Amino acid sequence: MSALTSAARLARPQRLVRSAKIRTIATAGAYRLPSPFNEANARSPERDDLLSALKDLRSQLPIAVPNVISGEERTASDPLPTQMPSEKDQIFAQYSPSTRQDVTEAIDAALGAKQQWQDMSFSNRAAIFLRAADLVTGKYRHQLLAATMLGQGKNAWQAEIDAAAELADFYRFNVSFAQKIYETQPTLTAPGQHGRTDWRPLEGFVYAVSPFNFTAIGGNLVSAPAIMGNVVIWKPSPHSIYASYLVHKILLEAGLPPNVVQFVNGDAEMITDTVLSDSRFAALHFTGSSDVFKSLWQRAAEGVGKRIYRDYPRLVGETSGKNFHLVHSSADISNAVKHTVRASFEYAGQKCSACSRIYIPASKSKQFLDELRDELDSVKVGDPETFENFYGPVIHKGSFYKVTRAIDEANKDPSLERIFGGTYSDSKGYFIQPTVYASKSLDHKLFEQELFGPVLAVHVYEDAEFDNLLTKIDEQGGGFALTGSIFAADRGIVQKAEDKLRYSAGNFYVNCKTTGAVIGQQSFGGSRSSGTNDKAGSPNLLMRFTSPRTLKEEYGPLKSVLYPSNLSNQIKSTPLLTPNFNTPFDSHHLPPNTTPSQTTTLTGCNPPRPCMITAITNLLSNPSLFPGYADTIRPWPPRQQNLRMTFSNKPTAQIPQQPRHLQTLLHLPQVSFGDAAYANHGPHPPSIGPNHAGSHSTSDDGITSRVKPAEADMPDDSPCVGVCQRVCDQHVHKR
């Protein structure tokens, strides 16, 4: 067992409270958390355990689901029922609706826990969700699968990849994403100061609204903001109520403080109205229909207009799609058919990423449609507890009637050809056979209308019209832009489709279906009417629930109010030269009124580059413009009294210890001058390095003003290059 898992097991809410009174930070460090991984899907050895869990759950029906507010389970005297979609006469759960007072208390309780939660070290917050992932894939795995199968109508495989694998993936990868966010700090820090980024949680609470079709989505809507230190009011769909309750229960067992996430059931309109009327509302995390999300956006905008909120609320939503498969004549047709059956009909077409429109080339249409019929003949529809069934019912009566009304209209439409299906029955549950219609017109409403059921619209296009078809696909689709796929072996066609359909889908696939994004492999989300495209399963989503603060600290005092430009008329200075890294040295590089005949030799740096020449000249001629370098003067050793300079046409001369500007240059940190420069003059300064030789020029007042380069070039790692560059940079920056 990992240290983090052990820490999480010990981190019960009561113990967290007591610990916080004693100390706020137990340990400090940049912890390396366990690497995330995708949960493997269980195979046959677990089948008996799942069957046992299904049997056990059936024996408890109907399940009572309470509200969980202020750490307490609250049951109502008038619970509301939700039916099993595969057995409409069987009540699956009875959930307690919350009152407006319950919602207000939930908000207050969450915000009361916020300070302690956000102050908890990230490693401890992370441990809670990593432990929750282990509980999902271990102790509660089959219980979650059974709840998802009976309550949401998923078959065993769809429940497995959702309620076990994806839910655990969300927890593990969100922890990893959060760590990467916290590690994102300023790229540069200037000397004498420190900059950092404080990834604060939002100021207020997050409202999470989850859908019926994925148990894992509810877990993500809650965990993404909570991991970053936020508190959450969670309103689950009544049609996934028990699975959602289990997710909340698991988080509490993993060590989540009881008030961080409030579990609130009941009337969506009342709950939403209470939440959006609260000044402390900070963010909406939503998955559901596009129409509902737009209405929530409008209401939040009205709240902003009325100045209700302290901050602009973050609105994060993933909604609907009218997703497409586009098949090119170069495609592997059999592969395209199999992917289309899965994308369009698994989970009865109730995935937001499901394919509901497809475009087939005329040259391959017969092969495609023949193989499609053959594949659909093998698809079984029925009770999700019968593992051989490919998919089960649609979720509830309202969904059933919406889809079947569209089927009835299509069956009577002379412009449509029924390729397969078109039948349904609600005698036991809400079952609809896989249904396919072909339309010669690209403008038929089946290519625009989102049904959220097992209905596929087909258009056969002329091969030569492929380019024009790309434009049409982009224009239609009900204004959605969630997922899309191109099937083609021709890479030029793939590239063309990727370019032309760039904004037609937030998730675009090549030679594979539109469904099945895996956390850590494909982040998920779309734009246009499909949502805000903040990409679930990525750091980008978690960043939406942060309010970054930038901090800067300087360690030393400010020495002057004035800038160098303010001093220009008060200083007698020599015109600054421009550094040149490439031009050879010649007479035009000399300072004003200096000739080559005045050049002398200094036993010092060898060989200086033109840029260093310019830098040294600027430094020595205008020391006041480079005050930072004057501060670097260090005392010379006692016996170090002067420098020896050799003149090219004169005998050896002794230059006094002045000027101090030259000392400044020679004593910059990391600067090396040759041993010969100090021959017979006692010990060398600490910065003395390899032997160098060079040349120097003096003006009449005795101040060294010019360095002449030797024939050879200076190696890039020479310390002389460092000082040259630093002086050049100082000059360029301050100008």
Q: List the catalytic residues.
A: 318
Strand duo 205-209 + 281-287: pairing: parallel
Residues 324/484, Cβ–Cβ less than 8 Å: yes
At 340 the three-state DSSP class reads: helix
Name every residue whose Cβ is closer than 8 Å to that of residue 546 and which is 6 or more positions away in sequence: 181, 199, 200, 201, 202, 228
Buried-exposed string 650-689: b where 16+ CB fall within 10 A, e elsewhere: eeeeebeeebebbbbbbbbeebbbbeebbeebeebbeebe
Tell me which residue of 223, 231, 234 sits closest to 266, measured CA to CA. Answer: 234
Residue 389 phi/psi, 5° resolution?
-70, 130
Q: Please state, in angstroms and rounded to a whole number, the distance separating the CA atoms of residues 357 and 349.
A: 12
3-state secondary structure of 463: helix
Q: How far is CA 128 from CA 7, 39, 256, 438, 471, in A?
A: 8, 18, 6, 51, 48
- Which amino acid makes up residue 253? E
Residue 341's alpha-carbon distances to 41, 171, 434, 722, in angstroms, are 21, 30, 9, 66
* Closest to 175 (Cα-Cα) out of 31, 283, 293: 31
Cis peptide before 659 (omega within 30 of 0): yes
Neighbours of 182 (CB within 10 A): 15
Cα gap 94→64, rounded to integer Å = 5
Strands (E), 578-692: 599-602, 643-646, 653-655
d(CA 275, CA 103): 8
Any bridge partners for residue 93, and if so which? Answer: 63, 82
